Structure 1
Amino acid sequence: MDLLAPLRTRLRITFAGQAEGVPAWEDALEHGDDAGYFAPDSAVWTVHGGMTPIAAGIRALLVQALHPGALAGVAEHSDYRTDPLARLAGTIRWIFTVTYGDTVAARAACDYVRSRHRSVTGTYTDASGAERPYSANDPVLAEWVHLAFMDAFLRSYEIFRGPVPQGADEYVSEWAVAGELMGVADPPRTEAALRARLQAYDDGGLLCGGERVEEVVRFLKAPPLDPLLLPGYKVLFAAVVDTLPERYRELLGLERPRLGPVPLPTRLAGKIALGAVGATLQKVGPSELAARRRLTRLGVLPPSERSAG
């Protein structure tokens, strides 16, 4: 008897939108006529593989919410409250297509997202109380989203796995390609530049908390997940909160979990939770396997490496 089958089914529904099989868009990554923007030994494949992207997704959503312009676009133009898994599935599809697809597929994925963003416009109240217009494709907002994603994926890998073998600078430099494809002007290409660019948003008074941020935090604390998954998610959420800079926790209205004055070992618990997910799902994801098949066909990888992980 496969005791993990119920958990595996619920995880597949959460991440892939279906209980069995592989989504067609993932299998389609096998097609294409070039190796894509990132090689199998790239820092991007390393950081975006495994289970740490699950933690990164939570962290990215929390950090992105600190810019009221970015948050207004999500709050006013998405159905994350009623159908959060649809938004999650769309984000997963974009990240993995850019990571593992050929250059045509990667550019098409970015063009599709940018086309959807054209209608995401409105006004928001900034940190000083002034009303400002926003557009999801505005370079400043696009940059903030890019920085938040990049930082979330990098820090989650470092905290829950260890140092990036190719180096943090290499990851930032490589993933700058994704920023450029999404309309970001001169994305950072070193870890130091990433830190500086993030700090500049706070130093410039562009980040804030508030009622809308509190609403997002409440939602992310207890999203409408399958009851079988919710306990593990809450463990991982606490671990992610523990990894955030103190300034971000302050703006989000969050505190490190403690038992009295003693901080709880949430990071270790988070590692265990991610390990449990990894033990339930296959070691190498369908997107990477499809990309390896394409690379084998193109002669980039020898046949013996097409399913290596």
Structure 2
Amino acid sequence: MRDADPGLFGPDSVTWQLHGDPMMWVAGVRALYLQALHPRAVRGVLQNSDFRADPWGRLMRTADYVGVITYGTTLQAERAAARIRGVHRRLTGTDPDTGARFAVDAPELLLWVHCAEIDSYLGVARRSGFPLTPALADAYVAEQRQAARLVGLDPADVPGDTGQLAAYFDKVRAELAATREAFEVFAFIQSPPVRTLLAPARDVLWRRAAGLAYDSLPPFAHELYGRPAPAEATVDRALRVTGAGLRAIPAAVRWQLPPARIVKAVGRLGPGTHPSAYRLRQGRTVTRPAP
């Protein structure tokens, strides 16, 4: 008998459709570039994680977490989030400029990470041709208050639409800087370590994707990194071409790649529940408000 639990978002949500799009991989890399611009956030990561030693493992664990909170059952999502909160609760970072210690799960840091991710997912999707109207974009931001709750934030303190998200970035802008750690993350993303046999693929495929992710950053991020921002129209064309190419890969093939959470969700809920931009075009979405 199938487990009919649709999870935190469900097959009719914007999140369900958007997170199944292959451009989320490019968006995830964009989020890393953006998150590195918050001095305390990036220091908390570099001082406590295996980012340097196991970049691919960390990337896959992050992808699996997003997959399980999107497509897993409610219990699976809550348990995965509880594990993350438990880890973060024990971690602290040190500000090398002042020597002050800070909690990695401080609300302002969790909020920065959340907003950088949501802005990246939404921005890359829309610019690459994923069919999101302004209303659907607002619905997605509202739905993601659920994800913010899971990491320990009060949903009421989290942007609930694109206007509030833009206002948050305007407010936080003064706290951002391209520190030594930010440039370390930048260089690492551009050329992560791989086995010798995989180096050609990294140099051709990964660097192209990483470069596109960087190009899609907002103007203020380019300014902080000290590099001229590419023409927006040029980036949009590259995103649309890349999106069209990735979306041309049969979904049955894409969904089998790790962590394969979509396959498990469809198996649990039955045919017709797979992510599809068609649902958005037909207006078949229901936004669940955060508690």
What's the TM-score once normalised by structure 2's chain length?
A: 0.82
Instruction: Give the % identical residues.
Output: 31
Which of 170, 175, 178 aligns to 1:209? It is 178
Change (3 A) 1:263 1:53: closer
- 2:128 is aligned to 160
Letter of the aligned partner of 1:248 in structure 2? A
CA distance in 2, matches of 1:246, 1:294: 42
Q: Does 1:73 align with 2:47?
A: no
Give yes or no for contact 1:235–1:266 (8 Å, CA) kept in 2: no
Alignment of 1:208-247 (within 5 A): 208-225=177-194, 226=198, 227-247=200-220
Which sections of structure 1, spanning at least 5 residues, go unmatched?
1-29, 297-303
Q: Tell me what 2:108 maps to.
A: 140
Q: Distance in 1 between matches of 2:275 and 2:141?
A: 24
Is 1:292 aligned to 2:260, yes or no? no
2:44/2:104 contact within 8 Å kept: yes
- Give, in whole Å, the separation in 1 of the partners of 2:232 and 2:110: 35
Worse-matched range after superposition: 134-143 or 160-169: 160-169
Which has the higher mean CA deviation after the structures are superposed, 270-279 or 233-242?
270-279
Equivalences for residues 1-309 of structure 1 within 5 A: 34-125=5-96, 130-165=98-133, 167-185=136-154, 186-202=157-173, 205-225=174-194, 226=198, 227-257=200-230, 265-280=234-249, 282-283=251-252, 285=255, 286-296=260-270, 304-305=271-272, 309=276
TM-aligned CA distance change 1:162 to 1:35, over 3 Å: closer
Q: Aligned in 2, Cα 1:132/1:251: closer, same or farther, shift over 3 Å?
A: farther
Q: Quick check: 31-40 or 46-55, which moved more?
A: 31-40
Cα deviation for residue 35 of structure 1 reads 1.4
TM-score by length of 1: 0.77
Please give the alpha-carbon distance, in whole angstroms, between the structure 2 residues aligned to 1:216 and 1:230. 17
CA 1:48–1:251 in 2, change beyond 3 Å: closer, same or farther? same
CA distance in 2, matches of 1:54, 1:180: 23
- Report the Cα offset of residue 248 of structure 1: 0.9
**Is the 1:94–1:109 Cα contact (8 Å) retained in structure 2?**
yes
For each residue in 1:148-180, what CA deviation from the matched residue of structure 2 results, as whole angstroms up to 9, or x when unmatched?
111111111111124425611100001110101
Instruction: Report the CA distance between 1:279 and its aligned residue.
Output: 4.4
* Structure 2 gap ranges (5+): 277-291
- Tell me if structure 1 keeps the 8 A contact 2:23–2:246: no
**Conserved? CA contact 1:97–1:106, under 8 Å:** yes
